[in-house]
Copies of this chain bind each other. A is one copy, B any other.
Amino acid sequence: MAPPTQPLSINQGTLREQYDFRGFVEACVRNGITAISPWRDKVAACGLQEAARLIKDHNLRVSGYCRGGLFPAATAAERQAIIDDNKRMIDEAALLGCECIVLIGGALPKGSRDLRGAHTMVADGLAAILPHARAAKVPLAMEPLHPMYAGDRACVNTLAHALDLCDALGNGLGVAVDVYHVWWDPDIERQIARAGPRILGFHVCDWLTPTRDMLLDRGMMGDGVIDIPYFRGHVEKAGYNGCIEAEIFSAANWWKKPGDEVIRTCIERYRTVC
């Protein structure tokens, strides 16, 4: 398969331990990176206006803004507070010029075993923020996370489920496809085709065997068992022509290396194994 033609974007989670927002932007720029995906806590620490200025000064594309959603909660008041916070995030994304906001499902409320109830809370939360997102012209990308996160992080775990939400809620809602979360899915080809123009983001990293930590042991592209070109081929066939975003949470390995080395490795792997 030919190397990618769409730009590499670096997700700030890949360099979480090395840099604050300014340092992250400067490291990306000095290594020739033209697109980034910031995390909200890092933007807040930098200051929203300053972050927007840095992005503009360096003419950076912003492939996504991480991360919103997380709608399920035990009480109506908590759920409303989450909805309000998601609306603020939409305003931030508009100011930063983000191509989409990445949303995840959220954990089961404490003490709850009602997964189907949590699914309903996700649908209700999305419905509550979609008018605000449409008005702000910020597309929402529901990212299904790996099923191992269903209990304590994200209760939307298949692309089929994310697309069912899109079907139900309509314009303004799409999906992010992260190979780490969907690579195991025997139905993924069909679901990517079904997604079509609703694919708003494409994220890459790799699944290591063994995986030593369920959250923070993602691999660099090429170091694991995921056939990344297979997925890129299918999202491109479905019409996706946005950035290829490297998002690698790796507490014991890549977060401990110099940031420039991590970025250079991402670039090399983007060219050779994605």
Contact = CB atoms under 8 A, between A and B. Distances in A.
B185 A147 contact: yes
Interface stretch (A49-57, A72-80, A206-214, A243-251): A206-214
Contact of A147 (B108, B114, B146, B225): B146
A83 to B, nearest CB: 22
A135 to B, nearest CB: 30
A63 interface: no
A87 B209 CA distance: 29
B147 A184 contact: yes
B158 A186 contact: yes
Given A186-B160, A186-B161, A113 B147 contact: no
Interface residues of A, number: 33
A226 interface: yes
Contacts of A211: 148, 214
A71 interface: no
Nearest to A148: B148
A196 interface: no
A113 B226 contact: yes
Contact of A115 (B107, B148, B155, B227): B227
A113 B151 contact: no
Nearest to A107: B209
B147 A209 contact: no
Contacts of A14: none
Contacts of A224: 151
A138 B210 CA distance: 33
Interface in A102-147: 107-108, 112-115, 119, 146-147
